[in-house]
Structure 1
């Protein structure tokens, strides 16, 4: 019995020492911090004020834009997290943090979500104070931060439709099996001519961003689920840290901004690629671009290319 007690103490001491060594090893592993999913948290780059008061165009935002970041590869159901303040895609591993401002896609397709740590949803449990308001107003007409608006925290909206396929008022319109925006393109659906039938099929089940450009291109288009003409939509986004942006979605198709060129062509224009434009202001400002202090920028996420348009007149 005495031998057993001595052996048990030795085992406990050895286990305790190994535990300490294991913890020390984790703490001293190249200065990196790991969570339970083995995701490596990288130091955050300080915010640069040059992002404010300039128009930023983001093209082709999709999950493949997070390639190269440290950590687990993204799952196709992961939301696409984007930082308006750093005009960059954020790895899904930072979901519970204030490093991102707008969540898109994921298992909800074209759904949009803000980042608020005090409300159930993406980012819950972080210090984030974000959210957004959806305005039934054209982007260019939103000059001031609205004095009365309902900020959804975090908010979740997508399609401008009533019924099973929609969530009410949203920044995108889905045409279902036809195309109520371009009915002339789907007249040959079900045609006996396979070439005509295929061409018509390419214009069915499209998702259009309710942008100013769409309304200008098709001014008589009416929403099949809502009475009346289509109207442009603008998001007022409160960032995770309390600043504000006005934002307009432009497209859901890769390399395709012009709504007249959108079709179901997975080879040449794959879907699931968000394009949008926005202007960011600080929390204590009230005017969007009242004085545009800096030239606009274009960020092509899929090509990892940023272009500053220095030739603009400011």
Structure 2
């Protein structure tokens, strides 16, 4: 047998071996993950994500504080960091406590630069439940970086989360004992200092009298997102504390940043979220990879 023929047969056999193992590797030895097929069932329904950032698979977990977490809204799943320059993901969570939310746009400088993704993001000063359509002439950003809101800082930027610094302007009653010479009181107060609260409808309803650093009532925020493939999403972040969505239970001591958020996806040509979801909700718990159809189970 000719030497070239032997080499060809060997390579063909090697390929068959990889296929039979259900794995495909590139020249660098990377184990390529098959892309999860998208279904029309993702559209026009409430999707609740619980504990995003917990139990991330190998390759999905940030290596350091500078690395992002990547998420696909249309497949409600975490994405391997190897796919930064593909259209597989829509959102990136980065920065301090991963509180900066960016999007995947291959035409602008950012994490996804060089891909075919077209994602954009904007923030509305509107409760999530009141957003029924994509506003006309909405000023989108790409790649975005929606982070701390001006309500908790001295800036003028709208964001999805507030930081209370050394006090707590959401729950001032919880930090009154910090300067006292009572170690028990100080320990209790420390659990509510340096808090991050997502500006959700639940937060505003729970603490209707809360005021920001400028002395004005807190306002809820809703993110409007164009996905990497061009569909639309309305999204509300709810918590960064693992296992906690009730604002009354939020305090330091829980693992962070472990996100809870809810959203709805609509097709690009629809641009209307509707007044009522058309399908039963989905709750995806990232801690145990479970999906619940119907009423959310906390």
Q: Indicate the residue corresponding to 1:273 in structure 2.
A: 258
1:305 deviation in Å? 1.1
Deviating beyond 6 angstroms after TM superposition, the runs of 4 or more aligned structure 1 residues are: 20-29, 162-167
> Which runs of no fewer than 5 residues in structure 1 stay unpaired?
1-19
Q: Indicate the residue corresponding to 2:267 in structure 1.
A: 282
TM-score between the two structures when normalised by the length of structure 1:
0.83
TM-score between the two structures when normalised by the length of structure 2:
0.87
Q: Indicate the residue corresponding to 2:56 in structure 1.
A: 66
Contact kept, 8 Å, 1:158 with 1:167, in 2: the verdict is: no
Contact kept, 8 Å, 1:66 with 1:90, in 2: the verdict is: no
- Compute the RMSD of aligned alpha carbons: 2.9
Q: Which has the larger radius of gyration?
A: 1
State how many pairs are aligned.
288
1:192-225 deviation per Cα after TM superposition (whole angstroms, max 9, x unaligned): 111110000100000000001101111121111x
Q: SS at the partner of 1:34?
A: coil
Q: Indicate the residue corresponding to 1:41 in structure 2.
A: 32
Structure 1, 76-85 or 160-169: larger mean CA deviation: 160-169
Q: Indicate the residue corresponding to 2:3 in structure 1.
A: none
Q: Indicate the residue corresponding to 2:179 in structure 1.
A: 190
> 2:159 matched to 1:170?
yes
Contact kept, 8 Å, 1:56 with 1:296, in 2: the verdict is: yes
Structure 1, 189-198 or 202-211: larger mean CA deviation: 189-198
1:57 deviation in Å? 0.4
1:36-73 deviation per Cα after TM superposition (whole angstroms, max 9, x unaligned): 5x4322221221100000000001100x4432x5x586
Q: Indicate the residue corresponding to 1:8 in structure 2.
A: none
Q: SS at the partner of 1:40?
A: coil
Q: SS at the partner of 1:184?
A: helix
| 1:1-314 alignment runs, 5 A limit | 30=18, 32-34=24-26, 36=28, 38-62=29-53, 64-67=54-57, 69=58, 71=59, 74-77=62-65, 78-105=67-94, 109-161=98-150, 168-224=157-213, 226-265=214-253, 269-290=254-275, 292-309=277-294
